[in-house]
Homo-oligomer: A and B are copies of this chain.
Amino acid sequence: MKNNQFAIRPTDFKTQLSELREIQFLDQDNESETDTIKLWKSFLSKSFLEAQTSSVLEEKLQTYMATSDMNLDEYLDSATNVTVEAFYNVALQLLKFNPDVDFSFDAPLAAMKKIQLLVADHQKDTFTTDELKSAWYWLLATHNKTGQTFIDSLATKGYFTRFYGKINKPMLFNGKTLPVFDPHQLIREVVYVESPQDSDHDGKRDLLKAEILRPKETENGLKVPVLYTASPYNQGTNDETGEKLTHDVNVPLKHKQPNDLKYSDIEYNDPKTPLPKARNINGQTKHAEETFSRESSYTMNDYFLARGFAVIYMAGIGTKDSDGLRTTGDPEETTSTISIIKWLTGQLPAFTNRTDNIQITAWWSNQKVAMTGRSYLGTLATAAATTGVTGLKTVISEAAISSWYDYYRDGGLVIAPGGFPGEDADVLAEETFSRRLQPGDFHKIKDEWNEQIKDIYQGEDRNSGDYNTFWDARNYHKNFKNITADVFMVHGLNDWNVKPRNVERLWNGIKHNGVTQKIILHQGQHIYINAFRSIDYSDIINLWLTHELLGVDNHAKEIIPNVIVQDNTKPETWTAYKDWASAENEQVNYNLSADKLVTEKSPKATHTFTDQLPENVFNLYRDHNDTWEHDLIATDTKLANNQLTFKTDALADDLTINGKTTVNLKVSSNENIGLLSFQLIDYGKAKRLNVSPSILGKNALAGTYDWREDDLREFTAGKETPFKMITKGHLNLQNRENNYKVDELKPNVFYNVSVELQPTFYKLLKGHQLGLIVYATDFGMTVRGNQNIEYTVQLDDSSLIVPTHTN
């Protein structure tokens, strides 16, 4: 295996000593020790927490080997010095590496290097006491075989319970917080924030429920920052009624009436609805009246709950125990989302219940907030950031939507999130409308809700697929300029649910805001990465939040690389880069020639394909999208007549695509309608990473001692495959200029179109071929009309522009 740690803070020796003292590895009994053997034994004895007597400790020491023929107990009894080799032999065992599999007792340093573990400085083959202290420090900071630093693995064994109840500020090690607050003593309280909106039009400002978990120590003066997760799913979902709204995608593509719209014609403008008066405040209290037992939590938040952070979950307008209606991402939802931040910073009131108007303040808050969460949750974090709300120091936006048009539409087409054909903004609104789960509440709002669903359905306009006022209201790009929070992005390069364009626009859209921005691009789909073995994600976020929310000068902004990309060609490999998808990247221009991608000029030629399939084949692909996906790309393609495929020769060198590939095509349809789809393919046999992570250990990652656990995961290499889809794109031929202006499409007339494929970072290995497939119906994403449409491409007037990464 290979370890990748990006969150290690360089630390001078003096600071190492003071940290070792604070966490009690150094104390008055051992800090002046001059015998390295005795010093080492004192460190070890503090690590074997299970041993409560010296006999048991000796027995444990006997189970480790210090050299190839001497166990640790014997070594400590007989050696006069701690050799570097003995230290790292034992270190590797403490880190759960196995001599039968991972290393040899003859060469521990070689293994440390190979696995990419931290080795401390040393002048000779044996450690001085100072070197040994430093080596122990770095050992504590090093990741083990199960995805935790050694110090965090000691935490799960109970090392830090000694500090429970005895500490009134966060404790730090190597720039990151430690779990010194008892998670079973957390205070759990509910407040109702009065949000400045009336989204259900009942003449009263919406009250929104928030679930708060904070360390008990806040009752005694500790001020804490907040990790806030805005999750519309958090209070439950309506899977059955949502499912019922799902749209039929086996419908034909329709001709659209050409128009001459300009952006100003469809631009969304705040309707400036008059706002009901705020509630009269009848009193003040410091104590909540409502509690809760088990919140629907995000495991990364759980990890921080013992480390001196509060965590808040809020589901927002239209969810269980809150007022309002679901809107799927419009400005009302953004207002709802940031209301809790305004409460935390004293800008909005909250009440202890929905009736009595007794105000409760966030008197325990240090007024610094980070938002966390994936998908819709990360989306709302991004939305919140675009308001520039005070107190929001950073958002960690994972797999987040940055414009809802880029989630449900593309190029004038209805394009489903991968795996969810027929889903749309109305379906998602219904699914998250958890007020339905409380029949007594739903009874009051039923008619209003039915109207709302109709309005969303009208607004989303599945008939045209065009960008319109509805989508403009849900486009966060417009307000990127207002972002003042630092932004930490995480996205999967194989995420076909929230497609990579969403994060690329955010990444490139805030470069002039003057905020710090970081991004991690992994090889997964639509997943969390906080429990992976090969990257220290929790540590990175710990370093980041310790800086952002606790104001600790730990150099997080300098230490964490701006861009970290997981390599797609080998497991457990993550690389730091300066930028991603920069407009300044070099490009390779390919021309289309017969079935080839070539760099020389191509001869005059046209190629034609038809979209229609025999009914039985169509039905097969309709019901089995994965079979279609395979057959489309397979070289012995069953879809030869239904696509055009162009391939480069075998690559003479590795080729890394970095950014947005563009397809320029001169193309005609034999009808007055047309849609085109594109896939970029890596052809070449290779064992590729599975896009879904494997579970290495069920419940193997605990946040701390006797606390919630997560499964340890990793992207592992699958069986050899002959090809892999790199990226894709779509276009309605009636939207050649942009997404809102509808163009005429005359049958059999050639038009020039230019399509930007989803951005990526992808390495094709030497000997592989880069391929482009041009086709029409995308069984996983577009409508599936099985219409008799023929497309003809003028090859010599078409090209493929590939942005590359050159260093």
Contact = CB atoms under 8 A, between A and B. Distances in A.
A59 B65 CA distance: 64
Nearest to A64: B440
A321 B72 CA distance: 16
A652 interface: no
User: Which of A157, A290, A356 is the most central at the interface, judged by chain B CB atoms within 10 Å of its CB?
Assistant: A290
A355 B56 CA distance: 8
A73 B353 contact: no
Interface residues of A, number: 55
Given A291-B50, A440-B64, A441-B63, A706 B56 contact: no
B441 A100 contact: no
A51 B290 contact: yes
A730 to B, nearest CB: 29
Interface stretch (A371-379, A398-406, A431-439, A479-487): A431-439
A293 B48 CA distance: 11
Nearest to A705: B293
B157 A55 contact: no
A587 interface: no
A289 B53 contact: yes
A95 to B, nearest CB: 13
Given A52-B290, A190-B50, A437 B184 contact: no
A55 B353 contact: yes
A726 to B, nearest CB: 27
Interface string A323-365: 0000000000000000000000000000011111000000000
A405 to B, nearest CB: 30
A289 B443 contact: no
Contact of A100 (B59, B62, B241, B290): B241
Contacts of A63: 321, 438-441
A53 B283 CA distance: 15
A440 B101 contact: no
A288 B53 CA distance: 10
Contact of A289 (B56, B190, B288): B56
A181 to B, nearest CB: 15
Given A63-B441, A355-B55, A440-B62, A50 B290 contact: yes
B158 A293 contact: yes
A59 B370 CA distance: 31
A98 interface: yes
Given A55-B289, A63-B439, A440-B65, A294 B353 contact: no
A443 B184 contact: no
A251 interface: no
Interface in A275-321: 288-294, 321
A758 interface: no
Contacts of A355: 55, 58-59
Contacts of A98: 240, 437
Nearest to A355: B55
Nearest to A74: B440
A156 interface: yes
A447 interface: no
Interface string A58-81: 110111110001011100000000
Contacts of A238: 100
B59 A157 contact: no
A238 B102 CA distance: 13
A238 B98 CA distance: 10
B56 A353 contact: yes
B440 A53 contact: no
B73 A440 contact: yes
A49 interface: yes
B439 A55 contact: no
Contacts of A52: 288-291
Contacts of A436: 100
A240 B71 contact: no
B292 A71 contact: no
B64 A438 contact: yes
A99 interface: yes
A702 interface: yes
A93 interface: yes
Interface in A226-281: 238, 240-241
A53 B184 contact: no
Contacts of A101: 240-241
A439 B65 CA distance: 6
A728 to B, nearest CB: 27
Contacts of A441: 62-63
Contacts of A64: 438-440
A198 to B, nearest CB: 19
Interface in A72-119: 72-73, 93, 98-101, 105
User: Which of A59, A69, A73, A441 is the most central at the interface, judged by chain B CB atoms within 10 Å of its CB?
Assistant: A59
A52 B190 CA distance: 11
A160 B789 CA distance: 68
Given A291-B50, A293-B156, A353-B53, A440 B72 contact: yes
A44 to B, nearest CB: 13
B71 A440 contact: yes
Interface string A409-450: 000000000000000000000000000111111010000000
A786 B289 CA distance: 74
Contacts of A100: 238, 240-241, 436
Contacts of A290: 50-53, 56
A582 to B, nearest CB: 39
Nearest to A702: B294
A702 B439 CA distance: 25
25 contacts: A49-B293, A50-B290, A50-B293, A51-B289, A52-B290, A53-B290, A53-B352, A53-B353, A55-B353, A55-B356, A56-B289, A56-B352, A59-B353, A59-B355, A61-B440, A62-B440, A62-B441, A63-B440, A64-B438, A73-B440, A99-B439, A100-B240, A105-B439, A184-B184, A294-B702
A-B pairs, top 7 by smallest CB distance, nearest first, are A63-B438, A71-B440, A65-B439, A53-B289, A63-B440, A157-B293, A55-B353
Interface of A: 49-53, 55-56, 58-59, 61-65, 69, 71-73, 93, 98-101, 105, 156-158, 184, 190, 238, 240-241, 288-294, 321, 352-356, 436-441, 443, 702, 705-706
